[in-house]
Structure 1
């Protein structure tokens, strides 16, 4: 899979760092991230949700 296009798109959204900072502060978690999830990744959790 080529993630470069997705990373470029997310990197171009100016609000992302602010959103991640707010989420980190509100939840008290020391790490926040943007995740890419697809229906075809085959993870058990996604199969259970469908």
Structure 2
């Protein structure tokens, strides 16, 4: 699906801007959800910045 959105039928990448259908909803929800979003990585004592998922 992502490939189809950003490539032409011949397989070339598009060279123009395509609007997002979900971005307006994400922008609307950001101020409401931002205070409640955080990251929990392992136990916090040993963090592998490059390897932890």
Common fold: TM-score over 0.5: no
TM-score normalised over the length of structure 1: 0.29
Q: Which has the higher helix share?
A: 1
TM-score normalised over the length of structure 2: 0.28
